[in-house]
Amino acid sequence: MKLLFVADPLETFKTYKDTTFAMMRAAAARGHALFACEPKDLVWERGGRVGASVRAIALAAPSSAAWFVEAAAPAAMALADADAVLMRKDPPFDSEYFYATHLLSQAEREGARVFNAPRALREHPEKLAILEFPHYIAATIVTRDEAAIKRFHAEQKDIVLKPLDGMGGMGIFRVGPDGLNLGSITETLNRNGTTTVMAQRYLTEITAGDKRILVIDGVPVPHSLARIPQGSEIRGNLAVGGKGVAQPLTARDREIAEAIGPTLAARGLLLVGLDVIGDSLTEINVTSPTGFQEITDQTGFDVATAFVEALERALA
């Protein structure tokens, strides 16, 4: 099959940990042809179909300087002519990402098969998607009102505030029982009342890790990747120095994943990353979930192959 990956520039991949690279490697091992483009390459013109200038690539030998070789010069391809289009552009989910999902929706109308489904990407913002499942989350408030945040802090005593468009732990603040800097932090995040933010009760279980649970076509991978904060840091994100430790799913992890996973899969989300701290769901990642290589390297469970097999079933 022809698999077209819409992703960040290939030259920027950190192949020792990149999940999209792991997907490509597993797909190539199963005989699939690899193509790649960036969101900026997508184009539609009246009378035609959504297309892009794509690169046909093959994986290079491990000893090569570059991890891929180009089989030919970049060439125009209609997305509907690929057997599957995999949207793997990393966050942030900004206006350009949003516009790209609309072009991908048009490609779907023209016959393209897109994973994750662009409509589902738009309808599941990664911070706010948890609101649909309130019985699995900790005390949470979403607001731009400073007074409401102060009331929430007074009730919960120890809270975390975060922007709705953050990634990799960016812009996350903890305010303890003393309330130190709550006003200043709120003003910074809500931009003096013009931007909506999220606040949640601080979960002490973060010291044991912020667990990433991968769910493929509604079925959880049997191991999570616990991102454990280091030193004085409260964030476990790998991007800010967290240590990734693979571990078997707990009974609660599996309960959450098995309850939510099939619902999300039915909406076109073939791959989802659930973030769980202790027993509480904190985030639902749908844009470009990661963690494949860390889990595989530490446990032997081949996450990428499991994903490609699920993709093949979806296309059958």
178 is known as an active-site residue: no
49 noted as active-site residue: no
List strands edge to edge, sheet with 197-201.
Answer: 140-143, 197-201, 159-163, 173-175
CA separation for the pair 311, 293 (Å, rounded): 18
Helices (H), ranges, the chain = 19-29, 95-109, 118-123, 146-156, 182-190, 251-266, 292-299, 303-315
Is 227 considered catalytic here?
Answer: yes
Place of tokens 């709550």: 182
Catalytic entry in 116, 190, 237, 285 = 285
Catalytic residue selected from 18, 126, 210, 283: 283
Alpha-carbon span 170 to 190, nearest angstrom: 15
Distance of CA 5 to the CA centre of its chain: 15
Of the residues 18, 227, 237, 294, only one is catalytic, namely: 227
52/44 Cα distance (integer angstroms) = 9
Query: Could you give the CA distance from residue 288 to residue 272 in angstroms, rounded to a whole number?
Result: 8
Which residue out of 212, 217, 253, 294 is catalytically annotated?
Answer: 212
Q: Which of 55, 162, 201, 211 is catalytic?
A: 162
Marked catalytic residue, from 108, 126, 253, 275: 275
Active site residue 162: yes
Among 25, 55, 127, 211, which one carries the catalytic annotation?
127
Active site residue 113: no
Under a CB-based contact definition with an 8 Å cutoff, are residues 282 and 3 in contact? Answer: no
Length of the chain: 316
Tell me, yes or no, if 40 is annotated catalytic. Answer: no
Amino acid 132 reads E
Specify the residue for token string 């990661």: 290
Range list of β-strands (E), 60-139: 68-70, 75-78, 84-87, 114-115
Considering 25, 38, 235, 237, which one is annotated as catalytic?
235
Which residue numbers are catalytic?
Answer: 127, 162, 212, 227, 235, 275, 283, 285
